[in-house]
Amino acid sequence: MSIKARIIRSDKRVFDCRLEDSKKIVQATSMGNLLKGETSLVVGDYVEVEFDSDRNEYKIMSAHARRNEIFRIQVREHRKRVTASNCDLLIAVTSASLPEYKRGVLDRLLVRAAQWGVDAFVVFNKMDTYLDQFVINDEVERLKNINGTFFEVAALDPQYKPRFLPNGLDELKQKLQGKTAIVMGQSGVGKSRLISALSGGMVELPSLKISKVGKGSHTTTWSEIVSIGDFELIDSPGMRSISVEDIAPEDLIQYFPDLFAYASRCKFSNCKHSEKIPGCAFHPIFQAATSEAKRLLSRLESYQRIMEEVSSTPDWQKKW
Ligand SMILES: Nc1nc2c(ncn2[C@@H]2O[C@H](COP(=O)(O)OP(=O)(O)OP(=O)(O)O)[C@@H](O)[C@H]2O)c(=O)[nH]1
Ligand SMILES: [Mg+2]
Ligand SMILES: [Zn+2]
């Protein structure tokens, strides 16, 4: 008889699986056919395991269909690399200082969330070091049409009470109940520290463990799910920059839902939506001097910057 389980850790052939009913964690090896190609097992996958009493071990017999995938296309090898599955959320972590808050990086993470089809939680971390480097409410306002949720925290100080936003660490914890989230952001923003804070100190900086598995290569990536009470988090190794070069230029606008509304009204096809094109749906916004227009234009700027990047990679390399 087979039992449903979830893969919470992968190490090439051996997987830690958590049995759905008893929550017991067992090690299992996989049937060879489940280790190949695009469907190769990843953390987050639900599988059916059977206990082999002769060999005294669990075996993964089959895998359930995935609800979604955290993936990127490896442009040069043109193949799709799936790193985790069945996530509900992307937690995009930014920091008030060291490293400084960067809109462009956050916008890239939001593009990924949209592409993967997961909701975005945006965390402003290290708010204990916040000294008016940027106006946090403006940043939230700027992203109000992307359907995200925003949190103000200081992972180093779990007692920190938010001063600008309605949501802090407690609300984050609450809204995570029953969910699986992947935690992403630039190196040093405090992803691991945040996970530790969310666990109430039960989890000690999981990145330390992860970096051993993913040693220096950015192909082996998320390898472990950390279970915290009623929710699960996947830490990820920090990135210097969040590359989105594998996205097809024609798809990009959909991943900016706030701009997409305007772009679909533009009467030109293949429009670059630049200031110099009267008749472009964005043209009036360039003329407007309102803060609303400014915020939208800063999103358009991110879009155009990413567009340049994705257009410089030949399309055929993005297929797999
Ligand atoms: N002042 C302050 N420092 C913090 C806060 N959160 C994290 N840090 C510090 O920032 C540094 C980086 O934290 P990590 O949690 O390791 O960052 P990370 O995002 O996991 O980094 P990578 O694993 O390299 O991607 C550590 O020295 C933390 O102590 C915070 O809320 N306030
Ligand atoms: Mg880390
Ligand atoms: Zn246009």
Percent of the chain's residues with pLDDT above 90: 61
pLDDT of residue 75: 75
Residue minimizing CA distance to atom 7 of ligand 1? 190
Rg (CA), the chain: 21
pLDDT of residue 221: 46
Alpha-carbon span 169 to 171, nearest angstrom:
5
pTM given for the model: 0.91
Task: State whether the beta carbon of 128 lies less than 6 angstroms from ligand 1.
Answer: yes
Region 18-25 average pLDDT: 94
Q: For residues 267 and 122, which has the higher predicted lDDT (pLDDT)? A: 122
Region 82-88 average pLDDT: 93
Residues 196-229 have pLDDT tens digits of 999 987 776 555 444 444 444 434 445 688 889 8
User: What DSSP letter does each residue of 31-65 carry, written as one string?
Assistant: -GGGGSGGG---BT-EEEEEEETTTTEEEEEEEPP
Tell which one of 98, 123, 193 to mutate to probe ligand 1, the residue whose CB is within 8 A of the most ligand atoms: 193
Alpha-carbon span 226 to 232, nearest angstrom:
6
Residues 171-198 have pLDDT tens digits of 999 999 999 999 999 989 999 899 999 9
The candidate with the shortest Cα–Cα distance to 9, out of 183, 211, 226, is 226
Q: Any idea which ligand is nearest the CA of 278? A: 3
Please, what is the average pLDDT of the chain? 87
Topology annotation, domain 3-63:
OB fold (Dihydrolipoamide Acetyltransferase, E2P) (2.40.50)
Ranges assigned E (strand) in the chain: 3-11, 14-19, 25-30, 46-52, 57-63, 69-74, 79-85, 89-95, 119-125, 149-152, 180-184, 225-228, 231-234
pLDDT of residue 220: 41
Task: State whether the beta carbon of 136 lies less than 6 angstroms from ligand 1.
Answer: no
Residue minimizing CA distance to atom 32 of ligand 1? 126
Does residue 147 have a pLDDT over 60? yes
Alpha-carbon span 165 to 140, nearest angstrom:
9
Residue 104 CA to ligand 3 centre (angstroms): 21
Region 33-42 average pLDDT: 74
Neighbours of 226 (CB within 10 A): 22
241: phi then psi, degrees, rounded to nearest 5: -140, 155
The ligand 1 atom nearest the CA atom of 239: 25
User: What DSSP letter does each residue of 60-86 carry, written as one string?
Assistant: EEEEPPPS-EEEEEETTTTEEEEEEE-
pLDDT of residue 214: 41
Task: Please state the domain extents for the chain.
Answer: 3-63, 69-234, 249-318
Task: State whether the beta carbon of 214 lies less than 6 angstroms from ligand 1.
Answer: no
Task: State whether the beta carbon of 210 lies less than 6 angstroms from ligand 1.
Answer: no
Cβ atoms 153, 160 nearer than 8 A: yes
Region 279-306 average pLDDT: 91
Cβ atoms 219, 196 nearer than 8 A: no
Region 298-306 average pLDDT: 94
Task: State whether the beta carbon of 190 lies less than 6 angstroms from ligand 1.
Answer: yes
Query: 46-52 and 25-30: which strand pairing?
Result: unpaired
The ligand 1 atom nearest the CA atom of 211: 23
The candidate with the shortest Cα–Cα distance to 134, out of 290, 143, 239, 307, is 143
pLDDT of residue 208: 47
Task: State whether the beta carbon of 188 lies less than 6 angstroms from ligand 1.
Answer: yes
pLDDT of residue 239: 65
Residues 96-119 have pLDDT tens digits of 999 999 999 999 999 999 999 999
Region 266-281 average pLDDT: 86
Does residue 154 have a pLDDT over 50? yes
Q: For residues 230 and 175, which has the higher predicted lDDT (pLDDT)? A: 175
Does residue 278 have a pLDDT over 60? yes
Topology annotation, domain 69-234:
Rossmann fold (3.40.50)
Region 73-82 average pLDDT: 80
Give the side-chain half-sphere CA count within 13 A for 307: 18
